[in-house]
Amino acid sequence: MKIHVYHVLIIIFLHNQKCYECNINCKISSDNCKCDNCDDGYYLSNYQCLNCDSNCKTCSDSAYNCLSCYEGFYLKSGNSCSECIYPCRTCSNEDTCLSCVDNYFFHNQKCFECNINCKTSSDNCKCDNCNDGYYLSNYQCQICNSNCKTCSDSAYNCLSCYEGFYLKSGNSCSECIFPCKTCSNEDTCLSCVDNYFFA
């Protein structure tokens, strides 16, 4: 049986009559591998680079004294990093998004879900025009009242009605009286249901 012997080289430096291992996470070093500046995610202590808290992109003096945070986190008072609230990709605090995750769009420091009921959209899925049965509010398509074919500004501000309903004053839709299939008001049929004729 052949035995393999591996030699591991550990580089050390002397400081205050003590030996310290040279650190691979050092960004800048000067005298005999004493570190002067560390990579992101590490802080300098006795010329060594030690791990920051996992959410800190940079920190100073201790692992929990964060100076900046990784994407998806924001810097709180007290220099700790807290997670952004979904669907923010980046944020400046718990209430202010700076960018959004996929399938959401950014508007007024908030993230809104892209809407499948959008007829036309422009910038990053912000809706400009909605399909029938929906109205536009904050670039999103909200559902109209069930009898409205089209509506504007609110669910109950109908602009047109589905077949079998007519548009009343006050922009609401009321059902045609049987046997009218379509009508212009409660007294005026425009067409009839099957087995009835229009005269």
At residue 170 the predicted structure's pLDDT band, cuts being 50, 70 and 90, is confident
Based on the number of CB atoms within 10 Å of its own CB, is 169 exposed (0-12), middle (13-18) or buried (19 or more)?
A: exposed
| pLDDT tens-digit map of 8-23 | 333 454 555 666 667 7
Q: What is the pLDDT of residue 112?
A: 85
How does pLDDT run across 44-87, given as a tens digit for each residue? 988 888 999 999 999 999 999 999 999 999 999 889 999 999 99
Which residue reads 């000067």 in tokens? Answer: 30
What was the pLDDT predicted at 41?
Answer: 93
Residue 6 has pLDDT above 70, yes or no: no
**Amino acid identity for residue 118 in this structure:** C
Q: How far apart are CA 109 and CA 113, in angstroms?
A: 14
Written as one string, the DSSP assignment of 100-155 is E-TTEEEETTEEEE--TTEEEE-GGG-EEEE-TTEEEETTEEEEPPTTEEEE-SST
Q: Is the dihedral of CA 82, 87, 90, 92 positive or negative?
A: negative
| Whole-model pTM over 0.75 | no
